[in-house]
Amino acid sequence: MTDKFISIEAIAKRYPGAGGATTTVFENLWLSMARGEFACVIGHSGCGKTTVLNILAGLDAPSEGAVIVDGQAISGTSLDRAVIFQSHALLPWRTVLGNVTYAASSKWRNWDRAKVKAHAQTFIDLVGLTGSEHKRPSELSGGMKQRVGIARALSITPKIMLMDEPFSALDALTRGTLQDEVRRICLETGQTAFMISHDVDEAIYLADKIFLMTNGPGALLAEVVENPLPRDRGRTDLHRHPLYYALRNHIIDFLVTRSKTFTAETPGHDPRNVPLVHIGKPGLTIASSGDEQRQTWIPGTSPGLTA
């Protein structure tokens, strides 16, 4: 039985359209995550990824359905759920330390200044900004600003970290370094994380599970792909793993073709029991995301390497 730390249950999002019509971004969407899991959601622009993240954050409400976190239905925003956006949204008049202490003191209102400062410093150190505590955002590079955003989010020790393409505005080198940092921190702290990404390799590096969404409107969660790569995987040697190409090809094939055709080609798709795809060796590969055990096996196809 899955430990459903996060349980998205039958949510829909509809907007009024032209001429009294209704646009349904998605409906009857079910999704769950275990505590400590890192999930990435991938799908084409407009399928509703940010909408799902905003609903999880409590920044938006579903038209139908509910979101349960740690056994409780959410309602509105909470310091239990921290969000990191593509743009950093730092307070420009505050220093690095000031931005992080501001967040920490909102959560622990009865802490004295010294305690808040020491707490904030721990997270500034964790993201590698030691020595930059007194700089203002205008004095920081894009990567440093994003580190402050990560330190600020982590400093409130959220139950869930929600990330909307947090690295997409960064240069490749900084992006790689920050991916490493986020992965290290999440592994070290057991952080539950839900992230939107357009970068397949980023998802393969960071995620335990990859949620594949079909194109909108009327988008579906088509599959949950389990990441078969070992937990101690490195960013630079991902492509050497025997299952890397099978996993990557499966996701790319979905994005290029199946995200468009899935709905028509899969009439029996049950949104409540979305197939859990396990890529790898026969005999090690069968699982399910739902209660009714729908199963899919994708053989490893890495050229010259036997899975």
Ligand X SMILES: Nc1ncnc2c1ncn2[C@@H]1O[C@H](COP(=O)(O)OP(=O)(O)OP(=O)(O)O)[C@@H](O)[C@H]1O
> Which residue of 31, 39, 47, 246 would you call a contact of ligand X, by CB under 6 A?
47
Q: Please, which residue, 15 or 93, has the CB nearer to ligand X?
A: 15
Q: Please, which residue, 43 or 143, has the CB nearer to ligand X?
A: 43
Contact window for ligand X (CB under 6 A) among 28-36, 41-49, 199-207, 228-236: 41-49
Position 49 contacts ligand X (CB under 6 A): yes
CB of 127 to ligand X, least distance (A): 25
Position 48 contacts ligand X (CB under 6 A): yes
Position 216 contacts ligand X (CB under 6 A): yes
CB of 147 to ligand X, least distance (A): 23
Q: Please, which residue, 160 or 196, has the CB nearer to ligand X?
A: 196
x-marked contacts with ligand X along 62-101 as a string, rule CB under 6 A:
----------------------------------------
Q: Write a three-state SS string for the chain.
A: CCCCCEEEEEEEEEEECHHHCEEEEEEEEEEEECCCCEEEEECCCCCCHHHHHHHHHCCCCCCEEEEEECCEECCCCCCCEEEECCCCCCCCCCCHHHHHHHHHHHHCCCCCHHHHHHHHHHHHHHCCCCCCCCCCHHHCCHHHHHHHHHHHHHHCCCCEEEEECCCCCCCHHHHHHHHHHHHHHHHHHCCEEEEECCCHHHHHHHCCEEEEECCCCCECEEEEEECCCCCCCCCCCHHHCCCHHHHHHHHHHHHHHHHHHHHHHCCCCCCCCCCEEEEECCCCCCCCCCCCCCEEEEECCCCCCCC
Q: Please, which residue, 47 or 127, has the CB nearer to ligand X?
A: 47
Contact window for ligand X (CB under 6 A) among 44-52, 72-80, 94-102, 296-304: 44-52
Q: Among candidates 220, 221, 166, which has minimal Cα distance to 209?
A: 221
Q: Please, which residue, 41 or 126, has the CB nearer to ligand X?
A: 41
Contact window for ligand X (CB under 6 A) among 1-9, 40-48, 150-158, 269-277: 40-48
Pairwise CA distance, residues 1 & 260, whole Å? 32
Position 15 contacts ligand X (CB under 6 A): yes
> Which residue of 32, 51, 95, 191 would you call a contact of ligand X, by CB under 6 A?
51
Position 8 contacts ligand X (CB under 6 A): no
Residues sharing a CB contact under 8 Å with residue 40, sequence separation 6 or more, in sequence order: 195, 196, 197, 202, 203, 206, 207, 209, 210, 211
CB of 81 to ligand X, least distance (A): 17
Position 220 contacts ligand X (CB under 6 A): no
Position 215 contacts ligand X (CB under 6 A): no
Position 204 contacts ligand X (CB under 6 A): no
Position 45 contacts ligand X (CB under 6 A): yes
Position 168 contacts ligand X (CB under 6 A): no
Mode of pairing for the β-strands spanning 64-69 and 38-42:
unpaired
CB of 217 to ligand X, least distance (A): 6
Question: Which residue type, as a one-letter code, is found at position 142?
Answer: G
Binding residues for ligand X, how many (CB under 6 A)?
11
> Which residue of 3, 22, 46, 282 would you call a contact of ligand X, by CB under 6 A?
46
Residue with tokens 């580190």: 147
Q: Among candidates 165, 265, 183, which has minimal Cα distance to 222?
A: 265
Question: Which residues of the chain form contacts with ligand X (CB under 6 A)?
Answer: 15, 25, 43, 45-51, 216
